[in-house]
Amino acid sequence: MSLAPSTSKDGPPHPTVPAASPSRWAPLRPLVLRLHFYAGVLVAPFLLVAAVTGLLYACSFQAEKLVYAHELTVPVGSTELPISKQVAAARKAHPEGTVSAIRPSPEAGATTRVLLSGVRGVGADHTLAVFVDPYTGTVRGALEQYGSTGALPLRTWIDELHRDLHLGDTGRLYSEFAASWLWVVSGGGLVLWFSRRRALRRVRGASGRRRTLGLHGTLGVWAAAGFVFLSATGLTWSTYAGAHIDELRTSLGQATPSVSAVASGGEHAGHDTASTTGGGAEHGVGLDEVLAAARAQGLDNPVEIVPPADANSAYVVRQVQRGWPEKQDAVAVDAGTGEVADVLRFDDYPLLAKLTRWGIDLHTGILFGLVNQLALALLALALVLLIVWGYRMWWQRGRGSAFGRPIPRGAWAQVPPYLLVPAMAVIAVLGYFVSLLGIPLAAFLAVDIALGELAHRRGQRTYRAGGRPGVN
């Protein structure tokens, strides 16, 4: 057995490593290599866009605090005005639209937000947030707000760029496609990295393509868990896979519950909901009494008050803290009597509902605040570097050729039935639950089979048993 050093154009001499006896999984490596290579080449542009926009989004939280400091913060005063007076001040400055929610000042020095819907020039899924000084009632400004996290124009613009490239529902296909394939590319890279001989994974002392491969693989191994997490959580609110996940959770009794907003009725049914504009209505209770009832149930800041939708509905007061620990308790308060009609505690959520909530908030950089956002930024940078190194390896493989040397086709044919049949079953399941992964993967295999058969008939290069290239 020779241990004489071998030479390589890509790096310094290295000892020849004895060939290991092939394992039962060895036939899968050529197929994983082919899938990882071509999926990386074709999916990488989508992943690059997702990574760059995701990096911008991770930075948008801190940028938002700087850009909108005037609207978000005020000098700390001695006593806060009743919430009804703060809403009245907002309505005096902005009588347009209707009050859809109120978010009282969550902490000392923070403004109260009065959210208005149906305002001309504001999107149907957005609201106009009027910022009120809770100590003086002065209106500090008004900005568009999107989503339950209270995103303002800067973060909203970046969020929509990351989610759909500002192309609406059609654009959401790009992000779902990227999320569907990110875990596949990452998992394939892990399989290839750990199946390589230790000597071929070294970075120090290597050069050329081998060094690039070492950098690409090492960083990929460290970041793989984060990529799989981003892929899984990103799919939970995607268009197609997200719908299937919701259906599955519902069928298992794990859907996210909601507090009942139906009023208890009685002599006060049919109350005047004008109290939501500042209190003082002839019938029913006002915002101050509603907030006091919620506080009595343990709903501390931050909270959001949602006025009744109609005469038969109740106020809903819910906690909106997405940071750790999560505060998602909610109560319904009868607008006629001020009595609590229903209570929902986050502790009572089904397990999958809690995991979904935590996963989404971790994915969006909210759960652990600045630390969470820094981790997301590092993952985004890692993905950008991996894609750049991946394309560099593609270029180095061909020594400057635009397309590089192709990987021989036909790897699928070497996979034994006891592995191929379960793999095809998994692909079929994925094709249903994760359409933008399963369908392209099935198409890839079909095309590869056809091209492999054509290459075989023409006597071109293909894979022998064990994954080694040969000529038929």
Half-sphere exposure of 12 (CA within 13 A, CB side): 5
**pLDDT given for residue 465 in this prediction:** 44
**pLDDT given for residue 302 in this prediction:** 97
Domains and CATH numbers, the chain: 23-57+166-248+371-471 (no CATH), 70-151 (3.10.450.40), 257-348 (no CATH)
Phi first, then psi, for residue 334 (nearest 5°) are -60, 125
Helices (H) and strands (E) in the chain, counts: 12, 12
What's the pLDDT tens digit per position in 41-97? Answer: 889 999 999 999 999 999 999 999 999 999 999 999 999 999 999 999 999 999 999
**From CA 327, how far away is CA 323, in angstroms rounded?**
8
Phi first, then psi, for residue 327 (nearest 5°) are -125, 105
Continuous H helices in 341-434: 351-363, 369-397, 417-433
Beta bridge partners of 72: none
**pLDDT given for residue 444 in this prediction:** 76
Closest by alpha carbon to 113, among 85, 135, 95, 87? 87
**From CA 92, how far away is CA 76, in angstroms rounded?**
23
**pLDDT given for residue 265 in this prediction:** 58
**pLDDT given for residue 264 in this prediction:** 65
Residue given tokens 């006091």 in the structure block: 292
**pLDDT given for residue 252 in this prediction:** 94
Please state whether the peptide bond connecting residue 75 to the residue before it is cis, i.e. omega within 30 degrees of 0: no
Q: Tens of pLDDT along the chain (472 residues)?
A: 444 444 444 444 544 444 444 566 666 777 788 888 878 888 999 999 999 999 999 999 999 999 999 999 999 999 999 999 999 999 999 999 999 999 999 999 999 999 999 999 998 889 999 999 999 999 999 999 998 899 999 999 999 999 999 999 999 999 999 999 999 999 999 988 888 766 556 666 677 888 898 899 999 999 999 999 999 999 998 988 999 899 989 999 999 999 998 876 544 444 444 445 444 344 578 999 999 999 999 999 999 999 999 989 999 999 999 999 999 999 999 999 999 999 999 999 999 999 999 999 999 999 999 999 999 999 999 999 999 999 998 888 764 444 444 455 666 667 777 777 887 788 778 777 898 988 888 777 777 777 767 766 776 554 444 444 444 3
